[in-house]
Chain A
Amino acid sequence: QKEVEQDPGPLSVPEGAIVSLNCTYSNSAFQYFMWYRQYSRKGPELLMYTYSSGNKEDGRFTAQVDKSSKYISLFIRDSQPSDSATYLCAMSFTGANSKLTFGKGITLSVRP
């Protein structure tokens, strides 16, 4: 089983839709959970960052972590064409030498 699994997509939704992006993981020791957004031919940029379980909201974006199920989600409300990008989940342990483990990424297209 891979450490981090992410739906491969691609995903296409109409403008205004609620989008749910998900990752599952196998190692219960992960404590930091991140979502990166990567526009075409650009580097990934940090979108959301959470520690341990719970929800975090930032504008139209909500990150959710369920450690009991080893499942994280990113919700995008009122999706816009400018949200069209590849979304990467990433996670790490605490402490030194805790490198990030990434999912493969899912490409989202929001149709006007």
Chain B
Amino acid sequence: ETGVTQTPRHLVMGMTNKKSLKCEQHLGHNAMYWYKQSAKKPLELMFVYSLEERVENNSVPSRFSPECPNSSHLFLHLHTLQPEDSALYLCASSQEVNSGNTIYFGEGSWLTVV
């Protein structure tokens, strides 16, 4: 079992649907992240949480809504997405937020918007 677990692994949704991605980390870390990975692009940081508080939101459209109920769980709520939002969404965690420490990724949730 990996230290960072993501569900579902695959998701197909219509543009009018509402769905959520879930992430759980078992590493005792204080920081959690959502990244977007698209083909031929660098990883894009979307959101950063430190001890359940959002500390960074990198100009992400409001159709993506994060939620961090505690330091071990992170959600990404999705609604009225566009086809260009189809990508691999990666959750990650680190001991402290953005401190230069290494981060550990989950296996990702493959999202297809039709």
Bound pair (A, B): yes
What residues of chain A have their CB less than 8 Å away from a CB belonging to chain B?
4, 8, 31-32, 34, 36, 41-46, 49, 88, 92-105
Provide the residues of chain A in CB contact with B42, threshold 8 Å.
4, 101-105
The number of chain B residues with a CB under 8 A from chain A is 24
The reply to whether B100 and A44 form a contact with Cβ atoms under 8 Å apart is no
The reply to whether A88 and B107 form a contact with Cβ atoms under 8 Å apart is no
Provide the residues of chain B in CB contact with A93, threshold 8 Å.
100
Return B18 CB to nearest CB of chain A, in Å. Answer: 25
SS class, residues of chain A in contact with chain B: loop
SS class, residues of chain B in contact with chain A: loop
The reply to whether B90 and A102 form a contact with Cβ atoms under 8 Å apart is no
Set B2, B98, B103, B105: member contacting A96, Cβ < 8 A:
B98
The reply to whether A99 and B40 form a contact with Cβ atoms under 8 Å apart is no
Provide the residues of chain B in CB contact with A99, threshold 8 Å.
45, 48, 56, 98
**Interface check B64, CB cutoff 8 A:** no
Return A37 CB to nearest CB of chain B, in Å. Answer: 11
Once bound together, how far apart are the Cα atoms of A4 and B106, in whole Å? 23
The reply to whether B40 and A104 form a contact with Cβ atoms under 8 Å apart is yes
Residue in B closest to A45 when the chains form the complex, CB atoms: B105
**Interface check B104, CB cutoff 8 A:** yes
